[in-house]
Chains A and B, each alone.
Chain A
């Protein structure tokens, strides 16, 4: 009996291993800006800090979504770094954002606000350091600079790009909105009113 079970167990283990390897590995990347993994709606945004439409989307729409929906755990907003190679400083800005995320959500949000609000300024002269310094208390900024020196920050940004490419992201901003087993890919800027009408139609 035991002898008969052994090959069966081996077969089961092998098939399990094969199934795990066969599944496309989704690199763990992105920062949760609001809501939780239990929220009924998940908005994943692939964003570039130098892209004007990404700025509009964050400042006009996402911030209000965070306030109105994520605070009630109705929508989980996840941001992925997707710096475009055509933008000179966006990868560096993405590194700062990834480093700020390690300080916690409360520190990340002011950094994102500052980076997007001052986009026109730092995208000209690369003064990301000054822009981020304005958003954080001095001791946090020193911590952030230490984190920036960690090579894993670069790996994290690269993971965001890889995930975007895996999901066939070709432009920014691109959102993937998941709800009740459905997923919609949305490219471009969506106003808050349109987003609100859409979210109200799927979130009761």
Chain B
């Protein structure tokens, strides 16, 4: 029961984050393109196509998490994407580039706080990825507890 509740909280939180973040970017593709350019990693000719289509990928991921369809694959994709974001903003921060995070809206510079926030989002994603293993461990510990208890 506890695991089921945590599972739902993780799914709803991540779905909300991805749908909101994708929606904000999809509304302003040119401003998102400016944010992407700021990272200085995407070739110039790809900046606008990425700014146009990436937000829809985030929204699709959010919808998949919400619906629960192929949850294992969508949670792996979510964790992978968050790891990519964390890596990207950490490297940009360490390079001393003053880029706009472009995470949830615009005009937010990358700071240690931004990296920490994204790292926090990784926790529910990792929970969903390792949920089958966590369930087995949880069941095992419950079984051994009931076996230890006097009849």
- B-binding residues in A (CB < 8 A): 177, 184-191, 193-195, 197-198, 201
Contact = CB atoms under 8 A, between A and B. Distances in A.
B33 A187 contact: no
B34 interface: yes
A194 B107 CA distance: 19
Contact of B31 (A187, A191, A193): A187
Contacts of A191: 37, 44, 47
B25 to A, nearest CB: 12
Nearest to B27: A184
Nearest to B38: A188
B52 A190 contact: no
Nearest to A196: B48
B52 A193 contact: no
Given A193-B44, A201-B52, A177 B30 contact: yes
A51 B45 CA distance: 26
A194 B48 contact: yes
8 contacts: A185-B28, A186-B28, A186-B31, A186-B34, A188-B34, A188-B38, A193-B48, A198-B29
A194 B44 contact: yes
B31 A197 contact: no
Nearest to A195: B30
Nearest to A177: B30
Given A187-B106, A201-B52, A194 B31 contact: no
B58 interface: no
Q: Which of A186, A187, A194, A198 has the most CB of B within 10 A?
A: A194
A194 B28 contact: no
Given A185-B31, A190-B34, A194-B47, 4 more contacts: A186-B30, A190-B37, A193-B48, A195-B30
A-B interface, 8 closest residue pairs, ranked by CB to CB distance from nearest: A197-B48, A188-B34, A186-B30, A186-B31, A194-B48, A194-B33, A198-B30, A193-B44
A187 B37 CA distance: 13
Contacts of A201: 48, 52
Nearest to B107: A187
Q: Which of B28, B34, B52 has the most CB of A within 10 A?
A: B34
A189 B38 CA distance: 10
Contact of B33 (A177, A185, A190): A190
A184 B34 contact: no
B30 A188 contact: no
A198 B33 contact: yes
A92 to B, nearest CB: 29
A198 B47 CA distance: 10
Nearest to B52: A201
B68 interface: no
Contacts of B132: none
B45 A193 contact: yes
Nearest to B29: A198
Nearest to B28: A184
B28 A187 contact: no
Contacts of B37: 190-191, 194
Interface in B123-146: none
A197 B49 contact: yes
A191 B28 CA distance: 16
A184 B44 contact: no
